[in-house]
Chain A
Amino acid sequence: MDAVLDNLGDFGEGIRVTLQLSVVSFALAVVIGLVIATFRVSPVAPLRAAGLTYVEIFRNIPLTAFFALAVFGLPKVGITISFFRFAVLVLSMYTGAFVSEALRSGINTVAAGQAEAARSIGLTFGQTLRLVVLPQALRTVVQPIGSLFIALAKNSSIASVFAVIELTSTFDQLTETETATLPLLIGTAICYLLITIPAGLLTGVVERRVAFKR
């Protein structure tokens, strides 16, 4: 266990970067998810097609391949950003596709009569979605979206092999200098739990706050 205790500073830095990567990517993923879900339920056919295309592409490319494509491909067309930003870009676009599907399923749980009533009193599509449908839909998808954050936090470990020094690459580096690999592995797992378990608990709190009776 000394291997872990001696390197608490490194682990702390690893947690900080993983947390930062996860939170920033998640915030962007929610924005992307909202936009794409709106496209997918919109009355405009080209927008629906665009939304569907986005989801089918970014939900289905393996994350590692997506990382490689972005990190090595985008510089070839002149887009060079820091490796951390590449990681944020990839993780948020990938998770955004899943968030959009979760939101869309939430939107589908809102009775059609709600939207019809909203439109009949003169609200536009945007107003209907923003004021009537989404507030109800969001409450039903708190748990699935919370699970997506947890998945994102774990997926962020792929950034370790794309030049972001986060929790997993901290572990990789320490295994080279320390002989006791197993304690390091357990230490790393605990660090991830320090991020994901509170995230799960927070999801539960939020869900209870926004819950409503139908």
Chain B
Amino acid sequence: MRSRRMLSTVALVASLALAVSGCGDDDDGADVNAKPDAKPTFAAGSTMARLSEAGKVKIGTKFDQPLFGLKGVSGNPEGFDVEIGKIIASELGIDESGIEWVESISKNREDYIVNGTVDFVVATYTINDKRKLKVAFAGPYYTAGQDIMVKKGNTTIKGESDLAGKTVCSVTGSTPAAYVKEKIPTAKLTLFGTYTECAEAMRNGQVEATTTDNVILMGLVSKSPDEFELVAKPFTEEPYGIGVKKEDTDFRTFVNDVLEEIYEDGRYKAAYDKTIGTVQAEMPAPPSVNRY
């Protein structure tokens, strides 16, 4: 495990090196550094200039979402969202020590952005119109969706339509449960209070499949990679965006620029491989950013 992490770190540094050297001519390839030493310059008065000047940024993320933002005992959270946050910070000329991670749960994300508790939020944050009334979204940088988890080696359930007639587990009163009830009425819906309980029921053979957002399922798979696997054919779309202040169009444009840049230069893929890639190796194409 440790060696794999080492390897992916090496891969990340290497791809960063490639990215940096790829920008200019090849003759100066020795100038390799994950932490930018030259401060980028930004228009005076912009959020970018303010953060870059201070050398500090407060980023909201989840602390309890495996593979995206999970804080262990070691201190800093780890995951795909965290990597994206670090990249944006580094583009502002801020290294990791200048980042303050703030736990943002689903209920407080809008308020944290509006009140300035955080400078931006990368926290499995689905872009929707209701939230756009309060905050603005850069991205999307990842598309989540409802997927299916089965016991490893299950060959009968390969997609949404295979759920017909099967015992399918989800959480009571959840959107994925309502989706199954409406779209696949012949599925035998089994509802528990948490997805961990669904996993337990699947271990016991009491249910054949568990369905909810792939992000949650990937977290479960990452905990028991020998027992479970993802069908990996999402059938709904949940675009994840980066939440910024509603009126701060310049900052949103900056973040969108960063995203488009890292889609191309390999840093996005490196961040994926290091985190989500450990559970689902094949990286889906990054969604195109929506500059609304």
Contacts and interface: CB of A to CB of B under 8 A. Distances in A.
Interface residues on B, range: 10 to 19
Contacts of A173: 172-173, 177-178, 181, 191
Interface in B171-186: 172-175, 177-178, 181-182
A72 B178 contact: no
Contacts of A72: 197, 200-201, 204
A213 interface: no
Contacts of B169: 163
A20 interface: no
B172 A83 contact: no
A176 B172 CA distance: 9
A161 B204 CA distance: 17
A189 interface: no
Given A161-B191, A162-B192, A169-B191, A176 B174 contact: yes
A39 B197 CA distance: 36
A188 B81 CA distance: 40
A71 B205 CA distance: 12
Contacts of A80: 204-206
A37 interface: no
B197 A176 contact: no
B192 A161 contact: yes
B204 A75 contact: yes
A75 B174 contact: no
Interface in B131-154: none
Interface size class of A (residues with CB under 8 A): 10 to 19
A3 to B, nearest CB: 14
A80 B201 CA distance: 11
A42 interface: no
A176 B175 contact: yes
A76 B204 contact: yes
Interface in A170-212: 171-173, 175-177
Given A160-B172, A173-B172, A165 B191 contact: yes
Interface in A21-58: none
Contacts of B173: 169, 171-173, 175-176
A19 B170 CA distance: 24
Q: Which of A71, A76, A80 has the most CB of B within 10 A?
A: A71
Contact of B193 (A161, A165, A175): A161
B190 interface: yes
A83 B192 CA distance: 11
Given A76-B204, A173-B172, A163 B191 contact: yes
A6 B205 CA distance: 36
Interface string A142-174: 000000000000000000111101000101110
Given A161-B191, A163-B169, 15 more contacts: A71-B201, A72-B200, A72-B204, A75-B204, A80-B204, A80-B205, A80-B206, A83-B190, A160-B191, A161-B192, A162-B193, A163-B190, A172-B173, A173-B178, A177-B182
Interface of B: 169, 172-175, 177-178, 181-182, 190-193, 197, 200-201, 204-206
